[in-house]
A and B are shown apart, each in its own frame.
Chain A
Amino acid sequence: MLMEARKYLRLIKDYFLLNLSAAMEYRASFIIQVLGMALNNAFFLFFWWIVFNNTGNIGNYSFRHVMTIWAIASSAFGAAFILFGNTRNISNLIVQGELDVYLLQPKNVLINVICSRSSAASWGDLLYGFIVFFAVYGFNPGKLMLFTLFVVSGALFITSMLIIAHSFTFRMGNSSNIANAVLEFLISFSIYPEDIFKGYIKFIIYSVLPAGFITFFPLRIMNEFKPVMLLALLLINTAYFITAFIIFYRGLKKYESGNLITTRM
């Protein structure tokens, strides 16, 4: 089991380095994408700074809290698409019969698929989150460890939800629009103060579309550390990831392949 885990970690590392090399092939494009994404995020925080200067706190949220959820969300989305950048393409891979290449290799298909591509622009998101974290908390090793853990758990929540949404393609033909909507929902609902969501919306963000577990729940742990809450977060995280695996593998039995001419980008 431990050996298997090590093999997969090595594979993730190899894919990561290969994708980074591929991104470096187009250095100028890579740098522009990274800086562009970081700049884009900075504008949003500037906007929040103006809002808080004019309105004061929103519910229990201060500007510092918004910066924290922004930092976690930004780095979590960044990490998700750097490490598991191919998750966004699962529908296309299914529709175009491109899962064949992965099915012919002696590795877990899902891990092999999601790790095989990386988004260069997402480096901007990842780095930006850490910059904001240091701006808010300074160099605080305890908080930094927690923050990094939340970035990883957030990335796994996002990846799990995208896997689930894209796996509908096995049954429906093409669910990439649903997956895009899920992604938009997760982004939108994880970067605004939690207190503006009430009733059913609150239920949704802690169940079917777990945006709350990506940023709000971690923020509570950052504000007041409780081991039980951390354990709960990790268990829920694992449950979502396992569910995503099960749904993908059930769908894979319905995979029909195809004969389109394709290349690996």
Chain B
Amino acid sequence: MSVSNLLKVSDTRRVSPTRKGITPCGVTKIKVASVGFFYIQGSDYLNIITVEHLNKIFKTKVKKEGFRQSVRSILRPQYKTVKAVSDIGFSVQKGEMLAFIGPNGAGKSTTIKMLTGILYPTSGTIDVLGMNPVNDRMKLSFRIGSVFGQKSQLWFHLPPGDSFKLLGSIFEIPARELRKRISFLRELFEIEDLMDIPVRKLSLGQRIRCEIAGSLLHRPDIIFLDEPTIGLDVVVKQKIRDLVKRLNREEDVTIFLTSHDVGDIEQLCKRAIIINNGEIVLDESIKKIKYNYLKKKVIDVKYSENIDLKLDIPSMTIVKAKDYSAKIEVDISSGTIEEAVDKLMRVGSVMDINISDQPLEEIISDIYQGLCNP
């Protein structure tokens, strides 16, 4: 029996790894309440989310344009099936900050919704904290938190403080503990001054801070963040990222993040799963993604005189050229940086030159479009 299976049958709350549980030789020490310590080879037990062969198929009604077709669709409706998630599998370890990314309609939200028990999978298995989200939805929701950027769990006409009290009642948090928790989160999220203002009067950034605080009242082990920084300005985005990092560090909360903002991914996550058309196309560390998929370098060059830049090397593409400066992209799979720099130096007198990696955003975009191969 694998370790994860062994632990699945027990109450996972009673099983807590010691702070630095994994020894250099790969033996893990875990403490099981009232039983004692176990030493386990490998780190398999740390998987708190395991997904295998997960599929979700939606049945959608289709109708061609026009009134006649509308009548026809009432009498003889036609349906098509859409495979939103197709045979995916992955695991997430305790305390990990994972980016689950992909283009619009890739299947990110559908997957999160199956992991949290909102949607029933068509087939496949999901194990979150030793529970099946379909059968143990209520039990599981005591242990997970979620923030959907587009959906609010706070009452629009009431101050966040009132919503927090109600959420405390929904999550059955004893009054004293709730007071302590609210006071801690109020300070952490710097929302002391917002507690008495109706939610409708808060800015989006203030509301999202309150939303995240609200989803943490019951001390979840995992928090699912679906586009938490959508529509926020750069300053607030940074604030939210810092808070998420702090939460992960101080409370060991596992973060499952979906975002279209590469800044979120780069700053928060060490690993990314890329999903496209319902299938996982990549599951790698951010470092490896950059290393394996980096196919281009960007050269910013500044000349001392006005130049007319013309390049005859196929690996070099002019992104922008104006008066004294130029931005050039170099395809390092078909040419070398040395060759490119040499060419640019010969065009004119160079005042400054800067060579940088292709932005992660572009790498991910290329992966989405299938333009990248390791």
Contacts and interface: CB of A to CB of B under 8 A. Distances in A.
Interface in A157-175: 173
B162 A21 contact: yes
A106 B162 contact: no
Given A100-B113, A259-B109, A173 B61 contact: yes
B137 interface: yes
Given A103-B137, A106-B142, A262-B151, A256 B169 contact: no
A259 B141 contact: no
A178 B355 CA distance: 65
A14 interface: yes
B117 A103 contact: yes
B347 interface: no
A255 B110 CA distance: 12
Given A10-B169, A100-B148, A256-B58, A22 B142 contact: no
B158 to A, nearest CB: 5
A107 B138 CA distance: 6
Nearest to A173: B61
A25 B113 contact: no
B189 interface: no
Interface string B154-167: 11111000100110
Interface string A88-117: 000000000111110111111000100000
A214 to B, nearest CB: 31
Interface string B97-126: 000000000000110010011111000000
B224 to A, nearest CB: 9
A21 B116 contact: no
Interface in A110-132: 112
B138 A15 contact: no
A261 B157 contact: no
A255 B170 contact: no
Contacts of B148: 100
A18 interface: yes
Contacts of A188: none
A144 interface: no
B151 A100 contact: yes
A264 interface: yes
Contacts of B154: 263-264
B203 interface: no
A253 interface: yes
B158 A257 contact: no
A241 to B, nearest CB: 20
Contacts of B166: 14-15, 18
B206 interface: no
Given A98-B151, A264-B152, A104 B146 contact: yes
A263 B117 contact: no
A22 B155 contact: yes
B172 interface: yes
Nearest to B120: A253
A25 B157 contact: yes
B198 interface: yes
B156 A263 contact: yes
Contacts of B135: none
B13 interface: no
B169 A106 contact: no
Given A100-B118, A264-B154, A265-B157, A25 B169 contact: no
B153 interface: yes
A10 B169 CA distance: 8
A98 B61 CA distance: 21
B158 A18 contact: yes
A260 interface: yes
A86 to B, nearest CB: 13
A147 B256 CA distance: 53
A11 interface: yes
B170 A107 contact: yes
B155 A105 contact: no
A99 B117 CA distance: 12
Nearest to A11: B169
A27 interface: no
B150 A106 contact: no
12 contacts: A7-B172, A10-B169, A103-B116, A103-B117, A104-B141, A104-B144, A107-B138, A253-B120, A255-B119, A260-B150, A263-B200, A265-B157
